[in-house]
Amino acid sequence: MMMKKIYGILGDPVAHSLSPVMHNAAFEKLGMDAVYLAFRVSKAELEDAIRGAKSLGIAGLNVTIPLKEKALLFVDAEEVAKKIGAINTIDFGSGTPMGYNTDGIGSMQVLKETVGELKGENVLIIGAGGAAKAIAFYLYLEGAKVTLANRTKERAAQLAATLSNADAIGLGAEFKKQIKASDILINATSVGMHPHEDATLVNADMMHQDLVVFDIVYNPVETKLLKEAKRAGVKKIVDGVKMLVYQGAASFKIWTKEEPPIEVMEKAVTDALASE
């Protein structure tokens, strides 16, 4: 008798994650005997958790804040994930935990649908964690001009140094000046995520009307940042739902080798957010 396949997400916190809703809808649509669960795991327990998942026969995992960079230490990773320095997907199919990063893939799909050609665009990314690393790396490959802004400028500088076409700044006066010079602003931090919906690092008076504002936070769908962007009358506003769906779909394909039912996955997320 075939055992039910188990997938999951590791994070801390993780109760807010809609990945279980999204992936379980996909499994149901495709008639797969599988379940996706959320596991709260601290940084200190991460190595044990990954080793334990392998021992228990778990088929695949996602990794979210704040574990994406540390998780890279405990898997064999594909070359792109190594260059990024963070993973968000682990596949146990070969017996050895293999690490991948689908955050960059997801974000590029969203941006290409929204903006089109990214070459030569001035992009300001807030953050220097796992998601920021992935997005910055893929933007660099697309030929965009990337500036990384972080509370700790040194951390942004370390990341910028790995990309030949990137700058690093703090969140002071130079940050406000850079927003005015940017074509695209991306929040790649958890600022504004439930339950801290009133938090934002950028207000309407810091923005300009030709700006595209993309927040990777998806809960709430309209973050404080996006409300401020709307108030500023920016060119385009992009919420985090599509990125969640696209990165999740890429993970799904890595694990199952099946084509993910993207529309079903997106509907599951939007329905869950609407019912909260």
Domain check: are 84 and 142 in the same one?
no
pLDDT for the residue 244: 97
The predicted-structure confidence for 16-37, as pLDDT tens digits, reads as follows 899 999 999 999 999 999 999 9
The C-alpha angle with vertex 233 and arms to 178 and 213, in degrees rounded to 5, equals 50
The predicted-structure confidence for 239-252, as pLDDT tens digits, reads as follows 999 999 999 999 99
Domain check: are 120 and 206 in the same one?
yes
Please report which helix (H) or strand (E) contains residue 128, including its range.
none
Determine the distance from the C-alpha atom of residue 71 to the mean position of all C-alpha atoms in its chain, rounded to a whole number: 15
Distance set, CA 192 to CA 33, 216, 256, 258 (Å): 36, 10, 33, 34
Domain check: are 231 and 147 in the same one?
yes
The predicted-structure confidence for 146-168, as pLDDT tens digits, reads as follows 999 999 999 999 989 888 779 99
pLDDT for the residue 164: 76
Domain check: are 111 and 222 in the same one?
yes
Which positions are catalytic? 68
Domain check: are 11 and 113 in the same one?
no
Report field, pTM of the whole predicted structure over 0.85? yes
Task: Print the domain residue range for 18.
Answer: 5-101+244-274
Domain check: are 109 and 150 in the same one?
yes
Domain check: are 119 and 234 in the same one?
yes
CATH classification of the domain holding 211: 3.40.50.720
Q: CB count, 10 Å around CB of 79?
A: 7
pLDDT for the residue 1: 56
Domain check: are 187 and 174 in the same one?
yes
pLDDT for the residue 51: 97
CATH classification of the domain holding 39: 3.40.50.10860
Q: What is the mean pLDDT of residues 108-134?
A: 95
257 pLDDT more than 80: yes
Domain count, the chain: 2
116 φψ region: left (φ > 0), alpha (ψ -120 to 50), beta (else): left
Domain check: are 199 and 113 in the same one?
yes
Euclidean distance between CA atoms 157 and 136, whole angstroms: 12
Domain check: are 120 and 32 in the same one?
no
Determine the distance from the C-alpha atom of residue 238 to the mean position of all C-alpha atoms in its chain, rounded to a whole number: 14
Euclidean distance between CA atoms 149 and 9, whole angstroms: 28
pLDDT for the residue 17: 93
Domain check: are 138 and 188 in the same one?
yes
pLDDT for the residue 122: 97
The predicted-structure confidence for 164-190, as pLDDT tens digits, reads as follows 779 999 999 999 999 999 999 999 999
Q: What is the mean pLDDT of residues 79-100?
A: 95
Residue given tokens 């998942």 in the structure block: 53
- 142's CB contacts (< 8 A; 6+ apart) are 108, 118, 119
User: Where residue 2 falls among pLDDT bands split at 50, 70, 90?
Assistant: low
Mean pLDDT value across the chain: 95
Pairing of strands 145-149, 98-100: unpaired
Tell me the one-letter amino acid at 66. Answer: P
Domain check: are 157 and 212 in the same one?
yes
User: Where residue 3 falls among pLDDT bands split at 50, 70, 90?
Assistant: confident
